[in-house]
């Protein structure tokens, strides 16, 4: 019951990243983050924080600490090699106008 300000700083609730799937059948999308004591509370908080305007029909929560990201320094090695693989795009293959449904 002590509200003694001299007490050491207490631990903070962990940070969660929130992903919401909207009504239109799209994939879950990152919408932001929030704090919660555990996953169950994170889902409830996400419902209250991020779906106030009918934004979603499904919620995923992931502890921010559990997200592994690609390193910005590797950007060139990771992503540049895809630049010259233009044949992966349909526009690489010109089709005669009279041929339909391709």
Partner 1 sequence: MSAVAAIEVPSRAATHAGDASLDEALLALALRQADSPLVLAQRLCEWIGKAPILEEDIAQANVGLDLVGQARLWYAYAGEIEVRMGRVARGEDDFAFRRDASAFRNVLLVEQPNGDFAHTIVRQFLFDAAQHLALDALARSRDARVAAIAAKAAKEVDYHVERSADWVVRLGDGTAESHERMQRALDALWPYTGELFDADATDLALAEAGFGVDPRTLAAQWRETVDAVLADATLARPADGYVQRGGRDGRHSEHLGHLLCELQFLQRAYPDARW
Partner 2 sequence: MYAQMVDTGLAKVEDLDALPPAERAFPARIDADVKIEPQDDMPEAYRRTLVRQIQQHAHSEIVGMLPEGNWVTRAPSLKRKAILMAKIQDEAGHGLYLYSAAETLGVSRDAMTGDLLAGKVKYSSIFNYPTLTWADIGAIGWLVDGAAIMNQIPLCRCSYGPYARAMIRICKEESFHQRQGFDIMMAMCAGTPAQKAMAQDALDRWWWPSVMMFGPSDAQSVHSAQSARWKIKLLSNDELRQRFVDQTVPQAEYLGLRIPDADLAWNPERGHYDFGAIDWDEFYAVIKGHGPCNRERIEVRRKAWDDGAWVREAALAHAAKRAARTDDAAEAA
The reply on whether position 26 binds partner 2 by CB under 8 A is no
What are 6's two structure tokens? 């001299």
Q: Residue 2 has which token pair?
A: 């002590």
- The vertex-45 CA angle with 44 and 46, nearest 5°, equals 90
- Identified binder of partner 2 from the candidate list 6, 27, 67, 71, rule CB under 8 A: 71
Spell out, one character per residue from 27 to 66, where the chain touches partner 2: x when CB under 8 A holds, - when not: ----xxxxx-xx--x-------x--xx-------------
Q: How far apart are CA 41 and CA 50, in angstroms?
A: 14
13 binds partner 1 (CB under 8 A): yes
Under the criterion CB under 8 A, does residue 82 sit at the interface with partner 2?
A: no
């Amino acid at each position: 019951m002590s509200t003694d300000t001299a007490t050491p700083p207490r631990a903070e609730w962990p940070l969660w990243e929130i992903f919401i799937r909207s009504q239109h059948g799209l994939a879950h999308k990152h919408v932001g983050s929030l704090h919660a004591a555990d996953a169950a509370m994170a889902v409830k908080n996400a419902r209250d924080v991020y779906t106030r305007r009918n934004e979603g029909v499904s919620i995923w929560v992931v502890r921010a600490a559990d997200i592994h990201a690609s390193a910005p320094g590797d950007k060139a090695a990771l992503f540049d090699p895809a630049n010259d693989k233009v044949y992966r795009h349909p526009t690489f293959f010109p089709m005669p106008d009279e041929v339909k449904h391709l």
